[in-house]
Amino acid sequence: MDNDEKIIEQLNLHHIATFQLTLLERKESIDETIELLRVEDNYNTNLNLFDRTAHLYRTSEEKLNPLRESMIRNSFFTHVEITHKSSALGLPYQIFAKHKSGKDLFFDGLSYHVKQEICNDKYDLNNINELAGYPHREDNVVRDLEKSLRELLPELPEMSYSMYTFYTSYVEDWKDLGFTKDGDAQLHVSVNDPTIITVTGLVHSTVGKEYNLFIGNENAIIEMNSHHLFHIREIDRFSNQVDRLRSKIDNASSCASDTMYEITKSFLKFIPKYISWNRSKKQIREIYSIKKCITRYNILSETLQKIVSKNWASRNSPKQLWLEADGKPDDQWMQSYWCTNFFHAEYKNGKITNLETTPIKPLFSHSVKEVSEKVELLNKEIDSAINETRDLLSAIQAEFSMYAVWLAFGAVIVSILVGFLSGSAK
């Protein structure tokens, strides 16, 4: 093999993602974050609210030490230490461990990263499938971490983690790949492993399976993908908040329907009617409370969609300003910023081809779509609930007005009878 063909080097395999629950607590609630959204956003404040991981989650050696001790006790790892080194999400401390399988593990309390070195020398891109190939998941490493993590978070569900697997490589001169690189672009390449055969039916099968190869600065690639996966988890928290509001609307709507049914009953059922109406009054206040804040949820949806439309990813950079409350400056405590996402190309017949001219959509695009659809439903459901409330108020007013008429009529009759009886007595 000619050495001139060996233009790519440092082939490594990575597994990154998050757990359903975080070891670190969020500095502000989801409600508080939504309250920070502004209708008039002249300085792109809304966009930056969704890229503050190292601000919202604080870590320290003390917070990670209980997990380190648990990992040592469980003996799944041959070496465990807490390092004062910026994590992929920009936090200043993380756990570094050697798994008994030989894999390296990094965990900062929010996101894990499993790394395996495949080839540290230069290699020919034509040999990528021989060196790499469709990757096997390192579930055993993550499960062992999960077991220790569950000692600190007993409510953590089993198998609650996600996993994104990819390879990274570095090229010194991009012209060797046939590209001219301008700026800090990173490349995502789809590679097909022809040795994989997937059976899709009794008589059908698919030959080949694609896997991800990223070419560029490994630290940048790890940061971008780690932020992508953590943004998915964060967006899920906003999605759950929208679900809670929709559940409240559903309960209020159901209560209004029950009350509407109660008031159609006979006059003798007056007390159950009154009790049902009192229950509905609380739900009506709930509906109008949600209606009052619906604008911010619309801004939430619009802002997230804007981030996706810009094809952004997140990178870390050193903090330049420090608040007194943050304590001493720490050069390992980073802040994140939006940047251009990966550019996509394909690997075919020994060459990288079909380079797309625009960056790819971020991995959290699907989560954003889900939130936006839920916010759209939230708007429709709140409008429907308000209409039901108005109908209920009209029905209550008509019903109780009729009672007032009957009571007044009864009072007149009583007055007449009392007058008649008084006259007869004389």
Q: How far apart are CA 24 and CA 404, in angstroms?
A: 60
The domain total for the chain is: 1
The closest of 230, 245, 282 to 54, measured between CA atoms, is 230
- Owner of token pair 């894999």: 103
- Owner of token pair 């077991």: 147
Domain membership of residue 101 (yes or no) is yes
Domain membership of residue 51 (yes or no) is no
Domain membership of residue 129 (yes or no) is yes
Tally of CA atoms within 13 A in the half-sphere of 351 that contains its CB: 7
- Each residue of 95-124: pLDDT tens digit? 999 999 999 999 999 999 999 999 999 999
- Owner of token pair 């490589």: 169
Domain membership of residue 256 (yes or no) is no
Range 349-354 contact pairs with CB under 8 angstroms and sequence separation of 24 or more? 350/125, 350/126, 351/178, 352/125, 352/177, 352/178, 352/179, 352/187, 352/189
Top pLDDT among 253 and 139 is at 139
Ranges 10-24, 259-273, 319-333, 374-388: which has the least confidence: 259-273
Ranges 253-257, 295-299, 353-357: which has the least confidence: 253-257
Domain membership of residue 288 (yes or no) is no
Residue 185 domain boundaries: 1-24+59-216+334-360
Domain membership of residue 139 (yes or no) is yes
Domain membership of residue 135 (yes or no) is yes
Amino acid 257: pLDDT? 75
176, two tokens: 């060797």
Ranges 194-208, 294-308, 377-391: which has the least confidence: 194-208
- Each residue of 315-349: pLDDT tens digit? 999 988 777 677 788 999 999 999 999 999 999 88
pTM, rounded to two decimals: 0.88
Flag whether pLDDT at 253 surpasses 90: no
Domain membership of residue 84 (yes or no) is yes
